[in-house]
Structure 1
Amino acid sequence: MLTIDQLVGGYSQVPVLKNISFQVQPGELVGLIGLNGAGKSTTINHIIGLLQPFSGSIQVNGATLANDPLTYKKAIAYVPETPVLYEELTLREHLQLTINAYQLDPSSAWQRAKELLKTFRLENKLDWFPVDFSKGMKQKVMICMAFMTEAKLLVIDEPFYGLDPLAVHDLLTIIDQKKAQGVAILMSTHVLDTAQRYCDRFVLLADGQVQALGSLQDLQALSGHQGESLDEIYLQLAQGDHHAN
């Protein structure tokens, strides 16, 4: 599981994140939500190791990037908001690169990859290069590369942009499959109606701090309005933070 404890961090000497703490349990989908600039991307960049914390800790199944970097990195798979592919590599070579990087068993990894490719209708495009793919197809490639691993933590950043409705349905289906396998999943998204239906809990960031944490019922209790949608609660809390600033 993912455990973030009193994380302070950012890009310069001035911290963006201020004592953030939350967990993502095995088999749980947690939605990371907040306004632009709230600290969602900074949090993700710390989790995946692109940024070093000023203080506090990030653990994945007890491993940290400092004390056991190989175990930590193998435990995480990441789907970025903007696809990042190597222009000179085919789809097949991207999948092989993933197998090599994660030291996966080739036979079972290729079996998982082929199932994912079939799900996302990419199975006949193994010899295509990124230049041949649309934005949505590139996003599907990134999803296949992450979900074919045996990572215990999936970090997914704004996955729905660029995906057609069928691909969104397919992604949510394989997320459910990963949850059933005990994988912890952290998903940053602004698509709140979908998040409300599929996420088990939410972390609402505002101004680099955790403003609210818990299930939809927990957030409804915090806002004082039972039965409100996540969208309504989000707007209330976000506007309150905006006015406070």
Structure 2
Amino acid sequence: MNDYNPRSEIGILNRKGKLAVSPEVREVILRAIYFSRITNGAFDITVGPLVRLWQKMGKEKRLPTQRELKDTLSLVGYQNIKISDSMVLLGKEGMRLDLGGIAKGYAVDKAIEVLRKRGVKNALVNAGGDLYCLGKGPSGKWKIGIQHPRNMREIFGIIRVTDKAVATSGDYRRYYVIQGRRCGHIIDPSTGWTVQNNPMSVTIVAPDCISADALATGVFVLGLEKGIKLINSLPGVEGMIIGEGMRVVKSSGWKKFEVDGLTERMK
């Protein structure tokens, strides 16, 4: 599922525009389309051309021109993915899928599935910050630290979960500074611009990691008000958004992961 590997299924699909894919890749693409729909396009795996454009901008230390953005945006749109049985067709020449916002979550879920089949009751699977907490940890519920989005030496807080997935999207690890402007790696598919400063971090707790992974990205693009509204509309999903000025917005059920009504602080 690595689009940077020309021999991977996604690499071949991006190059040829059409491919009979494996059941696993088909499943991930279908789930991605579902999350695109419920986020109104804020999550979109067809952002591949925009990702490449911003990588180029990072190297050249400049912002894209309006023409570059317009041309690249014309290749973005999950509605142009066509699926018939195992066949996947990209409806426009030059389209590229990027599964970076969903593939890790899928991999975590598959790992948990294997562990459960083998009778494992308690485990934590972590794939680059996207994780699933199976059963209990060494001292009861698993304790998960949430990174402070502006102080890399500080944990913003801790939540406690069991049999839940947790994923965080933020602008604090992967970003470019271009002409004094902080440009994160998460891109708004509707504008082509990177999401900047608001929000700074989104943490999602969900029944499975593919949902947590995709929603963390989608909510990040939606922002505080639209993002928290979406979270509150989804059964079994909770979230916390840290916005500009360290404004914190929490979903209606987030409190159950907290201690004494507050996110437990690292001591």
- Give the TM-score, by structure 2 length: 0.25
More helix by share: 1
Of structures 1 and 2, the one with the larger relative CO (CA 8 A, separation 6+) is 1
- Give the TM-score, by structure 1 length: 0.27
